[in-house]
Amino acid sequence: MDNGAIADNFDLLAKLMDINGENYFKTKTCAIAAFNIEKLPMQLKDTPREKLFTIKGIGDSVGKKVIELLDTGKLEVLSEYISNTPPGVIEMLNIKGIGPKKINTIWKQMEIESLGELLYACNENRLTLFKGFGEKTQKNVREAIEFYFSNQGHFLYAQLDEIYPQIENYLKKLFSADKVKITGAYRRQELTIEELEFVIAATNENIKPKFETAQPPELVEENEDNLLYKLKNGLKLRLFTGKQNITERQFLTTGSKEFTDEFQKAFPSIKYTVGESDESVFAAAKIPYILPCLRETAAIIEKAKTNKLPKLIQTEDVCSIIHSHSNWSDGSNTLEEMANECIKRGLEYLVISDHSQTAFYAKGLKEDRIREQHNQIDALNKQFALQPSSRLERNSGGQAQPSPKSSGGHAFKIFKSIESDILYDGSLDYPEAVLKTFDLVIASVHSNLKMNEEKAMTRLIKAIENPYTTILGHMTGRLLLSRNGYPVDHKKIIEACAANHVVIELNAHPRRLDI
Ligand SMILES: [Zn+2]
C-alpha cells in the first residue's frame, strides 16, 4: 500500500468521524495525518517500522494505524464507521458544496439518509430551516445532486419525457423519419429508465460516422446488431441496428422478455409487415392492440385473447386536481391562481390540501390559519358561483369544457381539504373539532419512515380506520431512485381501505407513483 492509499484511508476516516459528530481534535488528527502522509518524500511501506514514529506528523496513534494498514490492508476503526453510517449518507461526500459538518446536520437533524431524499428536501425548501443552510446553499446542493444523478445514468420517466422529443427529432433528421422507432423501457413507460432505446433501420457502419461530431457521444458498447452510446448528460442511448424488418424489431424489443416469448409461442407464424406500425402485428394475430405499457407479463396476452384488457386512465379522464398545496403551505401559487388555472384547463373542481401542522418544514397549517383559509375558499366559491366562465359541462367526448351559456352546468368549486400527517401512533394531526371542518381529508405519512412492517401496518390501518380519513396519500412513502418506501402488506391495506371506504391515492408525482 503506497502513501496515497494510506492518506486516502485517513482522509475518509476524518470525514466519517466528522459526519458522526466526533470530537474536533480526534478528527483533526486524522485529517492532518492524511495531509502529511500524502506529502512525504519517502514511501512508508519501505520505511523501517521503528523509524515510523519519528517522522514528523506521525504520532503514536497515527503510527499504529499506519502499521495496521500496511499489515492488514484495512483499518478496523474505519470499517466500523463505514458500517455504522448509512451508505446514502457516505454517498453525500460526492456532492460538491456539502462537507462532513453539513452532512452531519443533514443526517442527524434533518433525518435524511440518501441523496434522493436530500434532493426532495431541497425541492420542498426544507434545508433553509437549518443553521448553516441558506437559499444559496440549498440551490447549489440541489444542482450538484441533479448533476450527480444524471451522471449515474438513472432517469425518472418524467425527466426523459422532457428530452425525448429532441433526441427523436435529432435521430429522424440523421436517418429519416421512417427509419427511426422508439422501443424498450421508455416506450413501455417504465417508472425509471437506464437506457433510451430506438430501432434504427441502418447498419453500424452507416450509423457510427454520423455520431462523429465535434463533441461526440461516447460509444460504450458495440455489438453486431446494436450500439450503446452515452450522451453528455449521462443518458445511455441504445440503438438496435441492422437490416432486419423494423416493425418486427420494434415489436420484439418493446415488450418484456416474458411478454414477447409468450407472444411468439402463441402466434408462431405471424407475419410482420415492414414499415407498418406494430398495431399491424396485433391485427395479424387477430387480438386487440395491447398498449406498450401493458406488455410486461405473459398473462396480458390471454386477457387480450378473451377481450379482457383493462381500460386505462387517459388524460381526458382527469376532471380535477386533488392533492394540491398552495402558498398557504409549501406550494408556489395562491388559491385563486390555482383555481383559475384549473378553470382554464376545463377541470371541474380543485381540492386544496395543504400540509398539516406537524409538517413544520412545509409551513403546515395551525388551526387559526385553517379557519382563515376556509374563509378565503368560501369567498372564492361565492365568486365562482356567479361567474359564467366557471360553469362547466361535459362535452360529448367526456372532456369538461367551460360553458359560457351555463345551461345546466355547475359552477367550479374549491373543496376544503388538508394533507394530514399520520402521526407516529397512527392518529391524524388535528382534534375532531378541526377535522370535521374539512370536506375531505388526505392522510399521509411524512416522517418516521423507518419502521418494521408490523409497526408500519398498525400505524396505517389506524389512520385508515379514522372516520375522517377520505384518501390515503402516497401509500409507501417511496421516492423513486432515492428512497425505498416502508414495508407494507399491500393486500391488507387495500382490504382495510375497501372496508372503511377510504380512497387509495395514485400519486402522480414522478418520484412517487405509488401504488
Ligand atoms: Zn405528502
Q: What CATH number is associated with residue 451? A: 3.20.20.140
Burial 181-205 (b: 16+ CB within 10 A, else e): bbbbbbbbeeebbebbbbbbbbebe
Q: How far is the CA of 273 from the centre of ligand 1 (A)?
A: 48
Residues 6+ positions from 398 with CB-CB distance below 8 Å:
316, 317
121 & 199 share domain: no
Burial 306-328 (b: 16+ CB within 10 A, else e): eeebeeeeeeeebeebbbbbbeb
Q: How far is the CA of 86 from the centre of ligand 1 (A)?
A: 24
pLDDT tens across 83-98, in order? Answer: 999 999 999 998 888 8
Q: How far is the CA of 504 from the centre of ligand 1 (A)?
A: 13
122 & 164 share domain: no
| 301 CB-side CA count, 13 A | 19
Q: How far is the CA of 355 from the centre of ligand 1 (A)?
A: 8
Q: How far is the CA of 271 from the centre of ligand 1 (A)?
A: 49
Q: How far is the CA of 436 from the centre of ligand 1 (A)?
A: 20
Cell reading at 16: 466519517
**What CATH number should be reported for the domain holding residue 23?**
1.10.150.110
Determine, yes or no, domain membership for 514.
Answer: no
221 & 247 share domain: yes
Q: What integer pLDDT is reported at residue 465 of this predicted model? A: 98
166 & 111 share domain: no
Cell reading at 337: 391562481
pLDDT tens across 226-260, in order? Answer: 999 998 888 999 999 998 899 999 999 999 999 99
133 & 169 share domain: no
Mapped onto helix, strand or coil, the DSSP state of residue 510 is coil
Cell reading at 18: 466528522
Q: How far is the CA of 142 from the centre of ligand 1 (A)?
A: 20
Whether residue 53 has pLDDT greater than 90: no
Determine, yes or no, domain membership for 510.
Answer: no
58 & 87 share domain: yes
Return the percentage of the chain with pLDDT > 70, whole number: 97
Residues 6+ positions from 86 with CB-CB distance below 8 Å:
107, 113, 114
Q: What integer pLDDT is reported at residue 57 of this predicted model? A: 75
**What CATH number should be reported for the domain holding residue 212?**
3.30.460.10
Contact present, 382 and 413 (Cβ < 8 Å): no
Round to whole Å and give the CA distance between 399 and 340: 17
Whether residue 404 has pLDDT greater than 50: no
With cut-offs at 50, 70 and 90, classify the pLDDT of residue 346.
very high
Q: How far is the CA of 136 from the centre of ligand 1 (A)?
A: 25
190 & 282 share domain: yes
Q: How far is the CA of 444 from the centre of ligand 1 (A)?
A: 6
Determine, yes or no, domain membership for 509.
Answer: no
Determine, yes or no, domain membership for 93.
Answer: yes
Q: Which of 108-117, 312-321, 349-358 is most confident?
A: 349-358
Q: How far is the CA of 473 from the centre of ligand 1 (A)?
A: 7
181 & 75 share domain: no
Round to whole Å and give the CA distance between 471 and 164: 34
Beta bridge partners of 260: none
- Give CA separation, 47 vs 7, 85, 88, 124, 394, in Å: 16, 34, 38, 54, 85
- In the chain, what's the furthest Cα-to-Cα distance? 98
Whether residue 395 has pLDDT greater than 70: no
Cell reading at 233: 448528460
Round to whole Å and give the CA distance between 129 and 116: 19
With cut-offs at 50, 70 and 90, classify the pLDDT of residue 393.
low
223: enclosing H helix or E strand: strand 218-223
409 & 428 share domain: yes
Determine, yes or no, domain membership for 512.
Answer: no
pLDDT tens across 194-209, in order? Answer: 999 999 999 999 999 9
Q: How far is the CA of 474 from the centre of ligand 1 (A)?
A: 7
Mean pLDDT, to the nearest integer, of 340-355?
Answer: 95
Determine, yes or no, domain membership for 390.
Answer: yes
Q: How far is the CA of 325 from the centre of ligand 1 (A)?
A: 9
User: Pick from 240, 272, 305: which residue ends a domain?
Assistant: 305
Q: How far is the CA of 227 from the centre of ligand 1 (A)?
A: 41
Q: How far is the CA of 3 from the centre of ligand 1 (A)?
A: 49
Q: How far is the CA of 453 from the centre of ligand 1 (A)?
A: 20
User: Pick from 148, 169, 203: which residue ends a domain?
Assistant: 148
Q: How far is the CA of 475 from the centre of ligand 1 (A)?
A: 10
Number of domains present in the structure of the chain: 3
- Give me the domain span that covers residue 375: 315-504
Whether residue 467 has pLDDT greater than 70: yes
pLDDT tens across 11-41, in order? Answer: 999 999 999 999 888 899 899 999 889 888 8
Q: What integer pLDDT is reported at residue 401 of this predicted model? A: 54
Angle at 147 between CA 143 and CA 152, to 5 degrees: 145
Mean pLDDT, to the nearest integer, of 399-422?
Answer: 75
Q: What integer pLDDT is reported at residue 405 of this predicted model? A: 42
User: Pick from 130, 148, 166: which residue ends a domain?
Assistant: 148
Determine, yes or no, domain membership for 511.
Answer: no
pLDDT tens across 179-234, in order? Answer: 999 999 999 999 999 999 999 999 999 999 999 887 889 999 999 999 999 988 88
161 & 143 share domain: no
Residue entry with cell 450503446:
228
Q: What's the whole-number average pLDDT of the chain?
A: 91
Q: How far is the CA of 420 from the centre of ligand 1 (A)?
A: 9
Determine, yes or no, domain membership for 513.
Answer: no
With cut-offs at 50, 70 and 90, classify the pLDDT of residue 408.
low
324 & 460 share domain: yes
Q: How far is the CA of 510 from the centre of ligand 1 (A)?
A: 13
With cut-offs at 50, 70 and 90, classify the pLDDT of residue 403.
very low
Q: How far is the CA of 248 from the centre of ligand 1 (A)?
A: 43
384 & 364 share domain: yes
Q: How far is the CA of 148 from the centre of ligand 1 (A)?
A: 25
pLDDT tens across 54-85, in order? Answer: 887 788 889 999 999 999 999 999 999 999 99
Mean pLDDT, to the nearest integer, of 134-154?
Answer: 86
**Residue 181's closest CA among 198, 156, 202, 159?**
198
